[in-house]
Amino acid sequence: MTPEHLPHADRYRQGLECLQRVDGPQGVAVVQDLAESFPDFARYLVEFPFGDIYARRSLGLREREIATVAALTALGNAAPQLRVHIHAALHVGCSPAQIVETVMQMAVYAGFPAALNGLAVVREVFLAHGIALPLP
Amino acid sequence: MTPEHLPHADRYRQGLECLQRVDGPQGVAVVQDLAESFPDFARYLVEFPFGDIYARRSLGLREREIATVAALTALGNAAPQLRVHIHAALHVGCSPAQIVETVMQMAVYAGFPAALNGLAVVREVFLAHGIALPLP
Amino acid sequence: MTPEHLPHADRYRQGLECLQRVDGPQGVAVVQDLAESFPDFARYLVEFPFGDIYARRSLGLREREIATVAALTALGNAAPQLRVHIHAALHVGCSPAQIVETVMQMAVYAGFPAALNGLAVVREVFLAHGIALPLP
Amino acid sequence: MTPEHLPHADRYRQGLECLQRVDGPQGVAVVQDLAESFPDFARYLVEFPFGDIYARRSLGLREREIATVAALTALGNAAPQLRVHIHAALHVGCSPAQIVETVMQMAVYAGFPAALNGLAVVREVFLAHGIALPLP
Amino acid sequence: MTPEHLPHADRYRQGLECLQRVDGPQGVAVVQDLAESFPDFARYLVEFPFGDIYARRSLGLREREIATVAALTALGNAAPQLRVHIHAALHVGCSPAQIVETVMQMAVYAGFPAALNGLAVVREVFLAHGIALPLP
Amino acid sequence: MTPEHLPHADRYRQGLECLQRVDGPQGVAVVQDLAESFPDFARYLVEFPFGDIYARRSLGLREREIATVAALTALGNAAPQLRVHIHAALHVGCSPAQIVETVMQMAVYAGFPAALNGLAVVREVFLAHGIALPLP
């Protein structure tokens, strides 16, 4: 039975497991904090993005995080979520260089300001992870 | 000598080779058509995105195309370029399923309309490539 | 039992009912067409936006459609979805004048081009519904 | 005589009255602060959005604020204005639940990051108004 | 008496004169077409953008059109309005080269797709004006 | 020999000279800070935007800065870059009034929130330059 066909009742549990695999304890903490003010939305956040989408098997978690880091950098209005997903990209095994390359590439598709603001978030997250810049 | 340190004089040649690797003859045709009206911009398009960015080695071409398909779907105002890059994603070896997953995932980050409009472009490009939908 | 607490297994059925209430047979046709190419995404479209969000009771369907018409006009990159939701707004009982006002108001928040392009979609949908412009 | 046909000379006065009805003394304070640095723009802000648009009678103020909260959440680059309009929505009589529903609904049209950032502004404004979260 | 202080009753007349100066008979035709369906919005379009903003004297019309072409190219979701303003830029005396440079520059700030789509509109408008590409 | 045809090896040097002409020592400082973490991207930032685009002669630097201030205000997600370019606009000889007019005009094309947030950056930069507001 593929994850696409799990019974609906398992979506929340599956989403939470997937969220932990993607983002570690930090992801769960974000959801718990959200749930204190907006419990229904916290549930949707677990169920749809993680229980439905990230749990699907045709794309690896590393590729999913590259896609998300690219999109959030390009959109340019989601710095808190970009922070979470640069952390998540590291957590699922993307190399620091892959993350920097993805953000730099957005200069082509969304302009230099979007890429520069994305790199500022990269710098902040890498600092918190003890990843020295510039990369070797 | 990494591609990052090639002498500048080789950027155009390197960019053109990279463009062909990424997108095949179709990419070169797009640039030639552009060059008839805007030759300087056609040159920049070869030199910066392809000669500088795509030629870098720390991220694979499949990952670069996933990032680009994600960003163009999320931005939602670049259908012609999304068409080119769904073609390019297939050309560098992304599976049809990986492309569909990447576009679907954008519903989470940029909303359902962006994902739906991205899937409409996927359908059009897959039709031209003889890729049957739904995927098995 | 509020719709927020229906068992998960009912989400699809509830979403489909809600989609019909919001958009009539046209909404179901859109989903069926989508399902021919992207069946999983068609299911998500029924389950999350309609089964989870529109089915909630704290905001009326007329207010939901006003919010959606406003957002799609402001984003400016989702003409096909704006078309569907102007139809839906009429279907749930918004008056033609309320729809025109909502779109016009977006000139303040997203600029005149967004509002003008939104009004072009209004004109097209109203023509199909036999609603004469200018409104009396 | 409908507000649409008031003599032009009354636009500023009408806009200021409308701004007060929409946003109370806080709205007037925002305009006065703006006028100290950019007096012409402060005048336009009173005259066009409030004197022309909000003063129109075919859409209620509650519906106008729902449309504005939806659009500003979806655009995602206007947090200060979203703050003002969540306050305004409460001031014209939208219930806290209607505001939360409107912002949550934007996850469908503009993605989860836009909705999450909108909910963060909701939390901040509700705190200032003594509205406890989660809502009952 | 500066245009900033003309009596309000003259805004519509002043806006129409300004629209003609900016865009010639084509601009007036656009407004007349709009007025057949949305007469109030057509009036606002004359009064605020043209009667209030373009009529101000501290920025020349050529600079205003460069600003508008830049913004519409960067936003990337307003092709019909970009078409009108490339025409207007030519009408107020911007050289074809200045227009092409402005659009190309947007590759830096909004990415290559935005610039490419802007250049496609430039090509279309220049063709209608008999301006040969590439520029000498 | 036009700047368009300088040998590639001169792009970095030419870009740096152009950056200094556009933005003075502050621009060079921004690049040096960036280069400490992301040296390749700092080089691209000098080479493409400044070495390729700003160095072109068919558009004056004042017009280039008006275009950039317009675009960054309209996009609304690039406050740090808008700050740099309002400084640059003053540095290349745009009058304070031309800058304020450009930002105000964006209310028409991108809405009042974008213009208001742009004016907040103007106020901040003008304060640092000792330019009193309101302008006379």
pLDDT per position as a tens digit, F89-102: 999 999 999 999 99
Residue D86, chain A, CB below 8 Å: the answer is: no
CB contact under 8 A, E107 and B75: no
State the smallest CA–CA distance between residue B9 and chain F in angstroms: 5
Hey, is F93 helix, strand or coil?
A: coil
CB-CB contact of C73 with C82 (8 Å): yes
Cβ neighbours of residue A13 closer than 8 Å, sequence gap 6 or more = none
- pLDDT range class, residue E10, cuts 50, 70, 90: confident
State the smallest CA–CA distance between residue D82 and chain C in angstroms: 10
Q: Is the pLDDT higher at A7 or at B99?
A: B99
CB contact under 8 A, A7 and C9: yes
Average pLDDT over residues B52-69: 97
CB-CB contact of A98 with A67 (8 Å): no
CB contact under 8 A, A78 and D76: yes
Residue D112, chain B, CB below 8 Å: the answer is: yes
Residue B10: what pLDDT?
Answer: 84
CB-CB contact of B47 with B11 (8 Å): yes
CB contact under 8 A, B113 and C41: no
Gap between the Cα atoms of B50 and B52, Å rounded: 6
By the 10 Å C-beta count (0-12 exposed, 13-18 middle, 19+ buried), C67 is classed as buried
Intra-chain end-to-end CA distance of chain C, in Å:
44
Instruction: Give me the amino acid identity at E16.
Output: L
Torsion on CA atoms F103, F107, F108, F111, rounded to nearest 10: 140
Report CA torsion sign: D93, D94, D97, D100.
negative
Residues in D touching A39 (Cβ below 8 Å): 134
State the smallest CA–CA distance between residue B28 and chain E in angstroms: 15
> D41 is written with which tokens?
């723009």
| pLDDT at residue F7 is higher than 60 | no
By the 10 Å C-beta count (0-12 exposed, 13-18 middle, 19+ buried), A111 is classed as buried
Residue C79, chain D, CB below 8 Å: the answer is: no
CB-CB contact of D47 with F107 (8 Å): no
Q: Which residue has the tokens 């302009």?
A: A111
State the smallest CA–CA distance between residue C26 and chain E in angstroms: 26
Residue A70, chain D, CB below 8 Å: the answer is: no
3-state SS, E5-69, equals HCCHHHHHHHHHHHHHHHHHHHHHHHHHHHHHHCHHHHHHHHHHHHHHHHCCCCCCHHHHHHHHH
Interface test with D, best of C59, C72, C92, C112 (most D CBs within 10 A): C59
At the fourth CATH level, the homologous superfamily of domain D61-129 is AhpD-like (1.20.1290.10)
State the smallest CA–CA distance between residue B83 and chain F in angstroms: 24
Q: How does DSSP assign C34-45, residue by residue? A: HHHH-HHHHHHH
Average pLDDT over residues C124-129: 98
Residues in C touching E78 (Cβ below 8 Å): 76, 113-114, 117
Cis status, amide bond into D39, omega within 30 of 0 = no
Q: What is the pLDDT of residues E32-58, one digit of tens each?
A: 999 999 999 999 999 999 999 999 999
CB-CB contact of B113 with D109 (8 Å): yes
DSSP 8-state class, residue B53: I
Residues in A touching F38 (Cβ below 8 Å): 100, 104, 119, 133-134
Residue B79, chain C, CB below 8 Å: the answer is: no
Interface test with F, best of B12, B43, B47, B59 (most F CBs within 10 A): B47
pTM: 0.95
CB-CB contact of C100 with D57 (8 Å): no
By the 10 Å C-beta count (0-12 exposed, 13-18 middle, 19+ buried), B19 is classed as buried
| pLDDT at residue F43 is higher than 90 | yes
DSSP 8-state class, residue A133: S
CB contact under 8 A, A111 and E110: yes
pLDDT along chain A (136 residues), means of 10: 51 95 93 97 97 96 98 97 98 98 98 98 98 97
> E18 is written with which tokens?
């300004």
* Domain ranges (residues) in chain F: 3-54, 61-129
Facing residue for F108 by CB, picked from C74, C106, C111:
C111
CB-CB contact of E16 with E50 (8 Å): yes
Residue F40: what pLDDT?
Answer: 97
Residue C40, chain A, CB below 8 Å: the answer is: yes
Cβ neighbours of residue D42 closer than 8 Å, sequence gap 6 or more = D31, D32, D34, D35
How many CB atoms are closer than 10 A to CB E30? 18
Residue B115, chain C, CB below 8 Å: the answer is: yes
Gap between the Cα atoms of B13 and C96, Å rounded: 58
Q: What is the pLDDT of residues F110-124, one digit of tens each?
A: 999 999 999 999 999
State the smallest CA–CA distance between residue A12 and chain E in angstroms: 37
CA angle A13, A17, A18 (to 5 degrees): 115
State the smallest CA–CA distance between residue E118 and chain A in angstroms: 14
CB contact under 8 A, E111 and A110: yes
What residue of E is the nearest CA neighbor of D11?
E8
Helix segments in chain C, DSSP class H: 11-37, 39-45, 61-75, 79-91, 96-110, 112-128
Question: Between C96-110 and D61-75, two packed helices, what is the crossing angle to 10 degrees?
Answer: 40
> D68 is written with which tokens?
């504005």
How many interchain CB pairs under 8 A, C with F? 22
Alpha carbon of E76 to those of A47, B20, E41, E72, E106: distances in Å? Answer: 33, 27, 23, 6, 10
Residue D48, chain E, CB below 8 Å: the answer is: yes
Facing residue for E113 by CB, picked from B37, B44, B78:
B78
CB contact under 8 A, B64 and A105: yes
Q: What is the pLDDT of residues D50-93, one digit of tens each?
A: 999 999 999 999 999 999 999 999 999 999 999 999 999 999 99
Residues in F touching B12 (Cβ below 8 Å): 8
Residue B61: what pLDDT?
Answer: 97
Instruction: Give me the amino acid identity at C88.
Output: A
CB contact under 8 A, A58 and B100: yes
For F30, the enclosing helix (H) or strand (E) is: helix F11-37
| pLDDT at residue F58 is higher than 70 | yes
Exposure b/e, D26-42, CB count within 10 A at least 16 = b? ebeebbeebbebbebbb
| pLDDT at residue C3 is higher than 70 | no
Residue E14: what pLDDT?
Answer: 93
The rounded Cα F50 to chain-centroid distance in angstroms is 10
Residues counted in chain D: 136
Residues in C touching F75 (Cβ below 8 Å): none
Gap between the Cα atoms of D60 and C101, Å rounded: 10
How many CB atoms are closer than 10 A to CB E136? 5
- pLDDT range class, residue C98, cuts 50, 70, 90: very high
Residue F39, chain A, CB below 8 Å: the answer is: yes
Residue E77, chain C, CB below 8 Å: the answer is: yes
For A112, the enclosing helix (H) or strand (E) is: helix A112-128
Gap between the Cα atoms of F101 and F119, Å rounded: 10
CB-CB contact of D99 with D115 (8 Å): no
Residue B112, chain D, CB below 8 Å: the answer is: yes
Instruction: Give me the amino acid identity at E10.
Output: D
